[in-house]
A and B are shown apart, each in its own frame.
Chain A
């Protein structure tokens, strides 16, 4: 058995929620839409229906949940927009990350793991805070790129390195969170 591909999205998330595709999404509006559609499609509404109708509703309720999960996350949202514009996404399909980024992330991770070994949770919190700042910068710059050329596949490939960097930052933050969680147990 070998895993080839994993794609969480089944249907385009913007289409599923009936929203205009854009990166600077009004999240409150999107959440509201998710709730409205859940109200129509949730399995609780189809308890008395026939098996095929229940299956159909279940499938669509899953899509709507998945769509909201995709759209509220900047990385998945960007991926969704890139796919729409015809830009291949996903690690492996995108250009390799720059050596500078890899070096910088490696150093940051070493610092993080040293702090964890010393159980210096204040330092971990500090690293996480500065990485969060970096996250915000990257999201901002991705947002600007989408604002300028929302559908131009060639121009949008310029977003890919930043998206790659954002993935690294996200993984760093997830690990830092896990370390901080360990503090309690």
Chain B
């Protein structure tokens, strides 16, 4: 770390990458073109993903929180990632654990798990995750002075609700989330760039709570995901649970009373002992644990590696099913793979390594730290997105949708709109009509999953369309567009084709929090509520306005006079001046309005620039060389118009 970085009070904001893990979290950044993990005062990079809520409402994160887990098993939330984006009655809440869950009072509350912690306070997984992220942000700020955007990694197999919840947590932690990046892709990015690899790779990522497998092609800086599969509730925690069940039996605890403090303490003890035994068995053939017995006395329990292997075999076998499917989906035989990359702490378990080797028919690549590689990838991606490293302009991550998206039809069947492993961003459109005269609205339920019946998939959200112009039944033509962005997040818009009226779409998520709830949490989290929130919003608007002005001015300077319609350039310059005039004011709505005017003024020009870039890419020329010759090139919009015209005749 250079002195300049410490003492420069006006340090430019620097992008960071965050691996928000089930067991540990890591924040990394780029230094001299290489990713490095940031460490706390004890020089530890791994921050335990543990959050302790005390009696007085204080929140403690990390190692200090983990120390409280034994004495306060229900006030210390570990492995919160397993609950992210899950409903109050999710199966996960019934597995062996130490938490107290709030019984939802109504349907709204049932959309999220709620932990009851110190002093009867309830917190959602989004808030717990936000506490971890905020502590990582603090760690980064201590070193960098100012943090710019952040890339947060998520399991590739996370569905829309889990991704949305992670993004909400980032927002709540005060982070500008540049991108949600899939963990295996992040690992491949860090690994592939480091070793300048080319070829077909499988990433086997078994973490504390989630499993992913991704098959991807690395080629000249382009990372193209072919397929992904996994289980967002399978990991080291399940190994601990399997062993803990056995330990509890040895302690003569045959039935755990989770409603009592004592019962939860016993479970915590068994889970911790199981984890320690698991770690020890990586190096040793057997381990002896001394555990208290019910009714007094102690039990010496010997666990051999063979016994442990037998306990986890069914869990590990489940990863095999997902791997074979991922290979099939990618159309790749295991012999074609150039390498298998291991990611996640659970891949240290010898049985898992052997299993992977047998499954893929080759020894996994062992020269990467499975704990840090994901955070490294996130830091690299954050740097690329923030435009920090010009040399990496050729790096591109092309990812896929992990689970099919569909809509629930009349008979309760899930009709697939976008199949799993579709490249993202992705979109689909569907046309609906009304079934009653003068019907002005209707509802759509979007589901995610591979099963045939909607009830067996995850119901993501209900979309309510309103404002359909009154017409006889069957006349209206409602075109509903589904878009999945590069974060894997879904948005739905709708338009009535005959009138061209854009429909108002209200989203009622089945899981997680609504935008309003997140906003309210943001306000609550700030010392001076509303006024702080407005200040933050103003600061965010200013940053955005400055960014757009800078980008526009730079693009204007590069452009020839001939590239504009008469008067267009002046209009753009006026709009830029308009934004600048209000930039230092305190009215964030005014700034927003001026941004929108600039946006409108540059729209057509942006479209032409994009056409030129496309043309240049196709002909293999640099953009500057293409110039006038493509001024009349047909844009994609022209194709759309032609295609539409064609369809209607």
A residues near B, CB below 8 A?
1-8, 10-12, 15-16, 18, 33, 35-44, 47-53, 56-63, 65-66, 68-69, 83, 86, 177, 181, 184-185
Cα distance, A51 to B432, chains bound together (Å): 29
- Asked whether B486 lies within 8 Å of A42 as measured between CB atoms, the reply is yes
Q: Which of B324, B386, B443, B636 has the largest number of chain A CB atoms within 10 A?
A: B636
- Asked whether A4 lies within 8 Å of B618 as measured between CB atoms, the reply is no
Please tell me which one of the listed residues B396, B547, B610 contacts residue A38 in the complex, with CB atoms under 8 A apart.
Answer: B396
Contacts of A66 in B (CB 8 A): 426-427
- Asked whether A50 lies within 8 Å of B595 as measured between CB atoms, the reply is yes
- Asked whether B425 lies within 8 Å of A2 as measured between CB atoms, the reply is no
- Asked whether A50 lies within 8 Å of B639 as measured between CB atoms, the reply is no
- Asked whether A50 lies within 8 Å of B430 as measured between CB atoms, the reply is no
A39-B396, A50-B602 known; A65+B431 contact, CB < 8 A:
no
Question: Is B261's beta carbon under 8 Å from chain A?
Answer: no
Contacts of A48 in B (CB 8 A): 387, 547, 551
A40-B617, A42-B396, A44-B397 known; A61+B432 contact, CB < 8 A:
no
Question: Is B22's beta carbon under 8 Å from chain A?
Answer: no
- Closest chain A residue to B442, Cβ basis: A1
Please tell me which one of the listed residues B179, B222, B320, B387 contacts residue A35 in the complex, with CB atoms under 8 A apart.
Answer: B222
A42-B396, A44-B397, A47-B385 known; A83+B646 contact, CB < 8 A:
yes
Cα distance, A18 to B415, chains bound together (Å): 31
- Asked whether A6 lies within 8 Å of B430 as measured between CB atoms, the reply is yes
- Closest chain B residue to A49, Cβ basis: B551
Question: Is B89's beta carbon under 8 Å from chain A?
Answer: no
- Asked whether B552 lies within 8 Å of A37 as measured between CB atoms, the reply is no
Contacts of B427 in A (CB 8 A): 10, 59, 62, 66
- Asked whether B429 lies within 8 Å of A7 as measured between CB atoms, the reply is yes
Contacts of B179 in A (CB 8 A): 44, 47
Cα distance, A60 to B552, chains bound together (Å): 21
Interface secondary structure of B, over-half rule = mixed
B residues near A, CB below 8 A?
149, 178-179, 222, 224, 320-321, 324-325, 328, 384-387, 394, 396-398, 409-410, 415, 417, 422-435, 442-444, 474, 477, 483, 485-486, 547-548, 551-552, 595, 598-600, 602-603, 606-607, 610, 613-614, 616-618, 634, 636, 639-640, 642-643, 646
Cα distance, A5 to B442, chains bound together (Å): 17
- Closest chain B residue to A63, Cβ basis: B636
* Besides the known contacts A40-B610, A44-B384, A53-B602, 13 further A-B residue pairs in the complex with CB atoms under 8 A apart: A1-B434, A4-B431, A6-B417, A8-B429, A11-B640, A11-B643, A16-B636, A36-B618, A39-B222, A42-B425, A49-B606, A52-B599, A83-B646
- Closest chain A residue to B320, Cβ basis: A184
- Asked whether A52 lies within 8 Å of B603 as measured between CB atoms, the reply is yes
Cα distance, A80 to B498, chains bound together (Å): 25
Please tell me which one of the listed residues B320, B394, B485, B600 contacts residue A52 in the complex, with CB atoms under 8 A apart.
Answer: B600
Contacts of A37 in B (CB 8 A): 614, 617-618
Contacts of B483 in A (CB 8 A): 58, 62
- Asked whether B643 lies within 8 Å of A12 as measured between CB atoms, the reply is yes
Q: How far apart are B608's CB and chain A's nearest CB, in angstroms?
A: 11
